[in-house]
Structure 1
Amino acid sequence: MHVDEWLQTIPSVWVYVLVGAVIGLESLGIPLPGEIVLVSAALLSSRGVVDPLVVGLCASGGAIVGDSIGYLIGRKGGRALFDRLGRRFPKHFGPAHIARAEHMFNRHGMWAVFFGRFIALLRILAGPLAGALHMPYWRFLVANVLGGVAWAGGTTAGVYYLGVVADKWLKGFSWVGLVVAVLVGIGTTLWLKRKAAKAASEEETVPETVSAS
């Protein structure tokens, strides 16, 4: 059963709670599929199952609160926290991941917090890492609020309107149009994944070069 099919089986109020909770826990530093839950809830809103405005508000609130708690945990736990997390979750908090994220923070500052909301790795690390690096909280909070609202609100709105348009479009075309749309979607997704992988590999080389020198 897909996530959106599962969400349809529970009351709408619990969909809102689930969206806020999962995204909040992910932002706190726990590796959970926050983006998948948000996209699935936004798709449900395009079908009238839940309210898109409430979904966006819950997602934004979860992102902001979770990141803030993660910041406080990172501030208190420091680097030792990431050593423990690295042993428990090596796929998400391994030395290479931490080095890459730290490089981006040192290089971009507040922008790393803002744009980190749109990147899976930094979405988990942003709060705790900002706290561990002793970023001033007011700077973190500004970037955290703006990034959380932009990511959660933008994703919800985009998926909602895409779902509404797709539903109307598919009703007016034959199965041939559907096949063409699927092929275009797959091709676009593969192209974006290649671009993202190339960008990530270029980022990885920078910390390795710095540490080698």
Structure 2
Amino acid sequence: MSAIEWVNGLMDTLGAPGAGVAIALENLFPPIPSEAILPLAGFAASTGRMSLVAVLLWTTAGSVIGALALYGVGALLGRDRTVALAARLPLVKVSDIERTEAWFLRHGTKAVFFGRMIPVFRSLVSVPAGVERMPLPVFLTLTTLGSALWNTAFVLAGHALGANWAQVTEVVSAYSKVVLVAAVLAVAVFVAVRLSRRPGTGRRRAGAAGATDAGRERESVEPVS
């Protein structure tokens, strides 16, 4: 059974709450894409299987519940454990974590709000919010607003397209791939820069420069025959 068939069966059994359950799970297991669940729920509402308003409310509630679970993971993990775990990763320095933390403290509210509308990062943004212990009322407000905008757009698109709801998934799938490629490129640039700054690389360059300078000095003092 495919994920879409499973979600469709869940909505047949539970109605709009089934769509909410599916979205909550999507936050915890991103391979179940919201851009497929939401238009499908909108299509189901267009056929009269469930209320459109109920779909919007339940899917937003599911998004918030899933985000809260990941917030809790971040809060339980805590800053000290996060720094200790990240510092063990190859090419990652504690200073990298500190800069990321400083950035999140300055821009965390925007990251949570807009992050709810970016594929791949929609779920992950809740973890640093928990690690940094963003005030829960603030986190809930931003998550609810961002999730409501994202969910409403896709549910209404599926509702309007009817049996052609899968067209929404195709468009957003391309958008998701662009985001994923950009993230991979960013990681690749980070690794390349970090490798170029490794101490061994600097010593080799310094040694080569020293050898060149020494050769030039010998040439300058050799008598001309």
With the shorter chain as reference, the TM-score category is: 0.5 to 0.7
1:1-213 correspondence to structure 2 within 5 Å: 3-5=3-5, 7-9=7-9, 12=12, 14-27=14-27, 29-35=28-34, 36-78=36-78, 80=81, 105=104, 108-163=107-162, 192=175, 195-197=178-180, 199-201=182-184, 203-204=186-187, 208=191
Residues 190-199 or 51-60, more deviating: 190-199
Alpha-carbon distance in 2 for matches of 1:189, 1:23: 16
Secondary structure at the residue paired with 1:118? coil
CA shift for structure 1 position 76 = 1.8
Q: Which runs of 4+ in 1 moved over 3 A?
A: 1-13, 29-32, 79-84, 102-108, 188-213
When residues 26 and 136 of structure 1 are mapped into structure 2, their CA distance, relative to the original with a 3 A threshold, is same
CA RMSD of aligned residues (A): 3.9
When residues 33 and 76 of structure 1 are mapped into structure 2, their CA distance, relative to the original with a 3 A threshold, is same
Alpha-carbon distance in 1 for matches of 2:10, 2:136: 37
List alignment gaps of at least 5 residues for structure 1: 85-94, 168-181
Amino acid at match of 1:144: T
CA shift for structure 1 position 75 = 1.0
Amino acid at match of 2:129: A
CA shift for structure 1 position 60 = 0.2
List alignment gaps of at least 5 residues for structure 2: 86-91, 198-225
Alpha-carbon distance in 1 for matches of 2:113, 2:177: 23
Judge conservation of contact 1:22–1:32 (CA < 8 Å) in 2.
Answer: no
1:126-153 Cα shifts (integer Å, max 9, x gaps): 2222111232333322211111111112
Alpha-carbon distance in 1 for matches of 2:71, 2:156: 28
Secondary structure at the residue paired with 2:110? helix
When residues 211 and 142 of structure 1 are mapped into structure 2, their CA distance, relative to the original with a 3 A threshold, is farther
CA shift for structure 1 position 59 = 0.7
When residues 125 and 82 of structure 1 are mapped into structure 2, their CA distance, relative to the original with a 3 A threshold, is farther
CA shift for structure 1 position 61 = 0.4
Q: TM-score, normalised by structure 1?
A: 0.62
Alignment coverage as a number of residue pairs: 179
Q: TM-score, normalised by structure 2?
A: 0.60
Judge conservation of contact 1:15–1:41 (CA < 8 Å) in 2.
Answer: no
> Is the radius of gyration larger for structure 1 or structure 2?
2
CA shift for structure 1 position 16 = 2.4
Judge conservation of contact 2:77–2:131 (CA < 8 Å) in 1.
Answer: yes
Alpha-carbon distance in 2 for matches of 1:111, 1:118: 11
Alpha-carbon distance in 2 for matches of 1:42, 1:81: 39
